[in-house]
Structure 1
Amino acid sequence: MLDLTNRGRMNMAGRLAGRRIIVTGAASGMGRAIARLFAAEGAKLALMDIAPEPLAVIAAETGAEHLAGDVADLAYLDDCVSTFAKALGGLDGLVNAAGILRTAPIEETSPEMWDRIQAVNLFGPAQLCRIALPHLRASGKAAIVNIASLGGIRPNLTMSAYAASKGGLIAFTKVLAAEAAPDVRANALCPGFIASPMTDALYVEDPSRRDVTLARLAMNRAGTVEEIAQSALFLVSHESSFTTGAVLTSDGGSSWH
């Protein structure tokens, strides 16, 4: 596991030196790992999450601006973009890492569950992209990374609402890449089975299912949130300057194995 906590809040020689980036879902899991790595690589960060206390902790750790709220709330999104763009002096990047995972057979997927999953996983990221786009265009070197999921490419049983939201986010990202070019790049990052509180919750009732899932991975292990952060770093950095509209899977080989 990468140790990023002792590299300092601002590495001016880093791969993201001076770049101004919003990260959603930053209080835990992939979003927190991305915030830590980006800060270590010199980024100036603005962090968003629905959980105010852990958000404040990671913001203090990374020296970031932060505002707590629900990514499905348009007023919150508007407030965040205007506040962060002013505080940072503009925006060069956006990583939509906020998301929720709830499972149920389609007959048991209530309209309320469906709507909430779409609101957080698709509506929120799409609207944040729309609101932030003028600031990102002004940068001339901006990049958006939408954290989708392997579930949006290779759906599993009981995940109809989740798969629909992530599949929609992938399609949205491709359209966004075409419309935002050449000033802004947009790519979708699709993690597979990643060890995190979100995925751990799937196996509380039947831990043996975890072994079945791992057996489908060519690498025979779960990924880490730090590994996803490294993929996000590549897509935001200038190292991927000719990459837009792409769908990058980081899944240990489960999409083909």
Structure 2
Amino acid sequence: MPWLTDPFSADFVMRALLGGALVAVVCGVVGTWVVIRGMAFLGEAIGHGMLPGVALATVVGAPVMLGGAASAIAMSALVGVLQRRGRLSYDTSIGLLFVAMLSLGVIIVSHSRSYATDATAILFGDVLAIDRADLVALLVAAVVALVVAATLHRSFVAAAFDRRIAATLGLRPQLAQLALVALVTLAVVASYQAVGSLLVVGLLLAPSVAAGPWTSSIPARMVVAVGFGWLAVLGGLLCSWHADTAAGASIAATAIALAALSSLAAQAVTPLPRSGRSR
């Protein structure tokens, strides 16, 4: 099947496949908790919170991942401060910070002579530009995500369903919440190179949504979500190669398509409830 193997004969496409697979691991694990906890808006906000740091790093020639990580961490910290001390609601605080960071990022990158190119890479990613250093960084991110998720699994579960019970059991729900926000930040930063800040939530949410109908436990959902993420990366890269489309956008669109197909398949195989009175 040359249509399947030929694209990956190119080194840069193979690196994109490996990098995307590692991103799928991070997003499959973290995205499961994002879906369960209803934290999609926070993930979107952190994705846009990366923009000032990425834009500044792009303009001055510094490593963009370091700039994005610093900016995303600052965004997460500001969300926490506003939640604890501000009088605004949680979603309102995130919304204001979302717009502020997005605007600041665009203002910074607009000073660059290659404004259009820089803005496109920042917003939509450039998975085909992944190099060996990026692969090492993604491998580290995947290991960290797996270790933290496994270590704090009980705390995450307890905090998700009843924070008071979690506190009674000594599972420290506040620490679990901070750790979960840190994991979301890690996932967003790790996914940036692949799909950019605008599309990162699609890869973070869609695989877990696709896995939901076929699993009955959180660990199983994570594993299946990683599998759907791998399929999305493979399908997106093939689509990009053969249809000459943007690779990051193709991966995100494939992930969402898989989520839709999974939902339709689940509805098709699930028997409808019987109507009428039982006798």
- Structure exhibiting the larger radius of gyration computed from Cα positions: 2
TM-score, normalised with respect to structure 1:
0.32
Bigger proportion of residues as strand? 1
The answer to which structure has the higher helix fraction is 2
Greater RCO (Cα-Cα under 8 Å, separation 6 or more): 2
